[in-house]
């Protein structure tokens, strides 16, 4: 009786902490795109150059109706995803009860909540939660149809299976789950449904998919224009399978059951669970390498996560004694709440972005007088000819300006540099100050571009923030800051601030020609030592975007799970010629993890006291080497 009351209470606590408390945090980039499409419609002219097929998802009319009823606040816009994920948990519990064990429902639900990717989608104003819900409904209708042979269930299956692709085109690999499961059950005569009845139902589903498949093939022809991720590594593929949860549940259940005998599962159950778990990552991995268009992106793999949760439940079912499911599920729930609750902060952030606070900071500065604002577009599609200096607003390429408006004269810049952008930037020398506002890597690029220009030699800069992966930098004309720095112990030209932080598992080996100032001073080539005994050579894209710039948790497939750090930064605090003192800060989730000073002897070419850890020691030395090289050039 106690467990009957405890399990719903633990579920409520998990949902409040993992799903509801991140709701008020700022939208991230793709969520602002959701709001833009919902408010302006999928037919808006600016969407023509930004994968228009994707914006025709049936998810966006849902958000539009929701917005008309409740507004477009962060909480209101994310509400449909919360409701969809709640329905999904109920459907998954039904599948676990029917396929694995009559008492497996609670365990399967908490196995889902043990996956951060699923919790993320519950508070994410994107189509993935709704897609998961509809996919689970299609599977449940398919299982019921094959169990009882009722035409109603068959038609409901066909409708919901087709609806999956109308919600998100890149869920197509998981549709193979329906075919495999039905084919095996019909072939083994484990269902009252015959081939003569199965073929028309699947044919009806295929006919309903014809319009959306035409859109999919159209999108594939231009997929390269919308891809920003590098081709996936084998390690990323293995990480996507959530083997830690699946094997961990199997081992824990075996230890609990000890010498008890296995209770084998039905072959058809194994096929359904394995297909749900593996089809999405395997086929997207293969597609990425066969076509060269990398779609092996974590958010596109999320539909496989419930399969991993069911796989862990199925593995546990081999060993968990009868009558112990509720007790073990309660222990599992306590572990989820303890280890995934992000207890270091009262209100966990949904995403590593705070566009809302950044826009507020810009508007506060604008209150003191109009300041020109440089706004690079955070969307990869913002390239000529789709982008132009007089790009009309509101427009999709600057959806963040429509959701979180800013004051001041706005200079629209593309995703990457262009001659038109440089021409606009050079003209800003006539003003006394200006702001750069946008995605952190782009702000870093333009901040360093301005710092190198001779017409801005007498200017100084100040970072406003931080706002996670969003940045605001203020440039001001004047000589006071320059003179003060010139007379200080550290030369102005090399007294640089690097708000970005390198990955703590990156082992730098060789500086690369790169004029911008990065967290380790220069841009460095090196190896990943996330697995200390197995160094891995990242490609150029990963080196530039993750190794040198850090915050790779949840983005890099090799980044280790657990409570370790995710970023490290250095700064020169004192330069006395013969000796240097640098200060290091190690962070996890933007909170201090470790920090302290390091003294370096220029004469000896070594630290007085070596930093803890081989990788940290090498990063600190790389930073000092970069600093001394720049100082010598000055």
- Cα 62 to Cα 74: distance, rounded to the nearest angstrom: 15
Q: Which strand (E) or helix (H) includes residue 398?
A: none
pTM of the model as a whole: 0.74
- Cα 286 to Cα 303: distance, rounded to the nearest angstrom: 17
- Cα 250 to Cα 264: distance, rounded to the nearest angstrom: 13
Structure tokens at 99: 């396929």
User: What would you report as the CA-atom Rg of the chain, rounded to the nearest whole angstrom?
Assistant: 27
> What percent of the chain lies above the pLDDT cut of 90?
41
Structure tokens at 550: 């850090």
Backbone angles phi, psi at 93, to 5 degrees: -60, -40
Which pLDDT tens digit goes with each residue over 297-355?
788 888 999 999 999 998 888 878 878 899 999 999 999 999 999 888 889 999 989 99
Mean pLDDT of 583-596: 76
Vertex 469 angle, CA 379 and 85, to 5°: 80
Per domain, the residue ranges of the chain are 2-20+85-212+234-340, 355-478, 506-633
- Cα 517 to Cα 509: distance, rounded to the nearest angstrom: 17
pLDDT in the model for residue 488: 36
Edge-first strand order for the sheet with 410-413 is 410-413, 373-376, 433-439, 470-477, 459-467
- Cα 166 to Cα 131: distance, rounded to the nearest angstrom: 9
**CA dist 442 to 40, 410, 427, 503, Å?**
27, 16, 19, 18
Q: Is the pLDDT of residue 261 over 70?
A: no
Which range has the worst mean pLDDT, 35-39, 86-90, 134-138, 212-216?
Answer: 212-216
Contact 500, 466 (CB under 8 A): no
Q: Which residues pair with 536 in a beta bridge?
A: 528
Which range has the worst mean pLDDT, 179-183, 196-200, 448-452?
Answer: 448-452
Which pLDDT tens digit goes with each residue over 442-495?
888 888 888 878 888 778 888 887 788 899 999 988 644 333 333 333 333 333
Closest by Cα among 304, 57, 60, 84 to 168: 57
Which pLDDT tens digit goes with each residue over 222-250?
555 545 556 667 777 766 666 666 666 66
Mean pLDDT of 356-378: 88
pLDDT in the model for residue 373: 93
Long-range CB pairs of 282-286, under 8 A, 24+ apart, other chains included: 282/173, 283/173, 283/176, 284/170, 284/173, 285/232, 285/237, 285/240
594 or 252, greater pLDDT: 594
Closest by Cα among 123, 138, 131, 201 to 165: 131
Which pLDDT tens digit goes with each residue over 151-178?
999 999 999 999 999 998 889 899 999 9
SS3 389: coil
SS3 390: coil
Q: Is the pLDDT of residue 254 over 90?
A: no
DSSP 8-state class, residue 158? H
- Cα 61 to Cα 460: distance, rounded to the nearest angstrom: 47
Contact 555, 546 (CB under 8 A): yes
Q: Is the pLDDT of residue 49 over 80?
A: no
Nearby residues of 594 by Cβ (< 8 Å), 6 or more positions away = 565, 584, 585, 586
**CA dist 357 to 29, 35, 278, 377, Å?**
14, 18, 39, 18
Structure tokens at 18: 């993992």
Which pLDDT tens digit goes with each residue over 386-414?
888 889 999 999 999 999 999 888 999 98
Contact 466, 499 (CB under 8 A): yes
């Amino acid at each position: 009786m106690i467990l009957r009351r405890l399990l719903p209470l633990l579920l409520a606590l998990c949902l409040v902490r993992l799903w509801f408390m991140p709701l008020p945090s700022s939208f991230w980039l793709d969520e602002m795109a959701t709001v833009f499409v919902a408010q302006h419609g999928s037919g808006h002219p600016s969407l023509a150059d930004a994968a228009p097929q994707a914006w025709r998802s049936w998810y966006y009319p849902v958000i539009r109706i929701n917005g008309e009823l409740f507004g477009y606040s962060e909480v209101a816009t994310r509400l449909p995803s919360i409701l969809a994920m709640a329905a999904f948990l109920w459907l998954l519990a039904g599948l676990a009860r029917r396929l694995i064990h009559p008492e497996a429902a609670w365990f399967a639900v908490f196995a889902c909540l043990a996956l951060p990717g699923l919790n993320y989608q519950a508070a994410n104003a994107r189509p993935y939660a709704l897609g998961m819900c509809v996919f689970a409904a299609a599977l449940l209708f398919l299982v019921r149809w094959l169990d009882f042979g009722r035409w109603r269930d068959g038609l409901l299956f066909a409708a919901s299976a087709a609806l999956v692709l109308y919600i998100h085109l890149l869920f197509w690999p998981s549709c193979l789950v329906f075919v495999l499961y039905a084919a095996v059950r019909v072939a083994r005569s484990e269902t009252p449904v015959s081939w003569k009845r199965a073929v028309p139902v699947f044919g009806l589903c295929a006919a309903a998919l014809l319009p959306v498949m035409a859109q999919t093939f159209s999108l594939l022809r231009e997929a390269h224009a919308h891809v920003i991720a590098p081709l996936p590594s084998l390690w990323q593929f293995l990480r996507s399978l959530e083997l830690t949860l699946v094997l961990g549940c199997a081992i824990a259940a075996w230890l609990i059951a000890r010498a008890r005998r296995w209770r084998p599962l039905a072959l058809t159950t194994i096929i359904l669970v394995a297909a749900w778990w593996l089809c999405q990552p395997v086929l997207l991995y293969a597609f990425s390498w066969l076509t060269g268009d990398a779609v092996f992106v974590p958010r596109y793999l999320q539909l496989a996560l419930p399969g991993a949760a069911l796989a862990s439940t199925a593995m546990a079912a081999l060993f968990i004694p009868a009558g112990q499911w509720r007790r073990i599920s309660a222990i599992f729930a306590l572990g989820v709440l303890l280890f995934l609750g992000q207890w270091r902060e009262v209100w966990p952030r949904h995403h590593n972005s705070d566009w809302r606070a950044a826009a507020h900071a810009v508007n506060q500065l604008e209150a003191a007088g109009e300041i020109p604002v440089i706004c690079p577009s955070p969307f990869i599609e913002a390239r000529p000819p789709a982008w132009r200096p007089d790009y009309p607003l509101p427009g999709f390429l600057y959806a963040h300006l429509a959701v979180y408006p800013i004051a001041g004269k706005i200079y629209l810049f593309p995703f990457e540099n262009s001659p038109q952008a440089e021409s606009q930037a050079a003209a800003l020398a006539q003003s006394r100050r200006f702001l750069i506002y946008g995605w952190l890597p782009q702000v870093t690029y333009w901040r360093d571009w301005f710092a190198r220009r001779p017409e801005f030699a007498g200017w100084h800069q100040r970072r406003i923030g931080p706002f996670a992966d969003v940045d605001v930098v203020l440039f001001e004309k004047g000589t006071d800051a320059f003179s003060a720095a010139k007379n200080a112990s550290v030369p102005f030209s090399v007294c640089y601030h690097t708000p970005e932080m390198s990955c703590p598992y990156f082992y730098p080996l060789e500086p690369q020609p790169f004029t911008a100032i990065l967290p380790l001073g220069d841009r460095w080539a090196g190896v990943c030592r996330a697995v200390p005994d197995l160094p891995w050579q990242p490609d150029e894209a990963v080196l530039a975007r993750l190794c040198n710039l850090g915050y790779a948790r949840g983005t890099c497939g090799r980044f280790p799970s657990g409570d370790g750090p995710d970023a490290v930064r250095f700064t020169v605090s004192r330069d006395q010629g013969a000796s240097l003192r640098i200060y290091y800060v190690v962070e996890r989730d933007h909170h201090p993890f470790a920090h302290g000073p390091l003294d370096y002897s220029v004469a000896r070419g070594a630290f007085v006291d070596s930093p803890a850890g081989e990788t940290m020691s090498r990063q600190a030395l790389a930073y000092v080497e970069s600093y001394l090289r720049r100082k010598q050039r000055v």
